[in-house]
Structure 1
Amino acid sequence: MMLAILIICSQITIPLPGVPLTLQTFAIGMIATMLPLRDCLLIIFTYLLIGSVGLPVFANFAGGLPILLSPLGGYLIGFLIYGLITSGILGLTSRSSLTICLANFLGAASQLIIGGLWLIPANHLTLSQAMTIGVIPFIIPGILKLFLVVIVAQRLLKARLLAR
């Protein structure tokens, strides 16, 4: 189900020059927050694998290995790091609002920086240009998605506890 949510969230896109703004990172945050590390990484790896073989699961119904080698590739590969950091931290701590927020902040920031750095060779940019184009415009939307992850995850975790 989480893989399907990731694929659907990938299609909710606000087109921007270079790298589109999607709800993929929201879905990655939810996956990393709600699932154990192994399951989290398995879902993200499966998403990247089925996208790389050509299934149109990436933003704007794109797919294929060329997408992973494009300027978008760093952001996509960064999803694994986001999941590793966030789910890893939450597997070792409680899932309080604060730890969910901090773990997702560290994961999302790492993913965004990896994506920005990938733009340097992919688009022949300087570090400053890559950060200006590939990181800074996504900070505020990323913070908003982070708070959305915390709110939704807390409600789902509470509902799961009540259902037991």
Structure 2
Amino acid sequence: MNNQRLHLLVLSGILLATMIVCSQITIPLPIVPLTMQTFAIGLVASLLPVIDSFTVLCIYLIMGAVGLPVFAGFSGGLAVFTGPTAGYLYSFPIMCIVIGAILKYWGKNYLSLLTANIIGMFVGLIMGSLWMIPNLHLGLKAALMTGTIPFIIPGIIKVLLVVVIAQRLQGVVQKQLAK
């Protein structure tokens, strides 16, 4: 294994651990808790190549599926994938692809990071809300009012944090990967 691949593997592990820790930073709300999961997804997608960020999020989901308590509230198991918030979980790898693809083609400057992460945020919120339609027997408007609207401002704050932190870490990451 070459040095670059080793550095990428270590960074992926660190970001996976960050994802697990951020999942536990939760403000409980009636149906959908406010968590730092999407903040971690933004970091993962902003710092890793697309395929690696997708892989990290798939590993995270597999860890939860086999019962490890990696999801919000230390939950895990297959039942989580059928609950009212499962649509958000399903959106995580897709968010990585969307964010990563935009950054791959637009570069990783401030505006690109901001745009990619805002688009990724909306992908996650909308997928999570759409899942609620059949799961909670809601109409589209009620699902969006439950699963998207209340999370836009917190989501933008998390995106701004991602952009600031990703910009600061980019140089270090690139330097390590260039070795």
TM-score calculated relative to the size of structure 2: 0.88
Distance 1:136 1:161 in 2: 36
Structure 1 residue 10 corresponds to structure 2 residue 23 = yes
For 2:51 and 2:42, locate their aligned partners in 1 and report how far apart those are by CA, in whole Å: 15
The reply to whether residue 100 of structure 1 matches residue 113 of structure 2 is: yes
Aligned-residue offset at 1:159: 3.8
Residue 46 of structure 1 corresponds to: 59
Residue 146 (str. 1) matches residue 146 (str. 2): no
Structure 1 unaligned regions, length at least 5: none
The amino acid that maps onto 2:134 is P
Whether the aligned pair in 1 keeps the contact of 2:42 and 2:162 (CA below 8 Å) is yes
Amino-acid identity (%): 49
Which whole-Å CA distance do the structure 2 matches of 1:80 and 1:25 have between them? Answer: 11
1:93-139 deviation line (CA, Å, top 9, x unaligned) = 21000000001111111111000000001101011110111110100
From the CA coordinates, give the structure whose radius of gyration is larger. 2
Instruction: Show the counterpart of 2:103.
Output: 90
Distance in 1, Cα, partners of 2:173 & 2:131: 38
TM-score, scaled to structure 1: 0.96
- In structure 2, runs of 5+ residues without a counterpart are 1-13
In the TM superposition, what whole-angstrom CA distance separates every residue of 1:24-44 from its partner, at most 9, and x where no partner exists? 000000000000011000000
Partner Cα separation in structure 2 for residue 115 and residue 109 of structure 1:
10
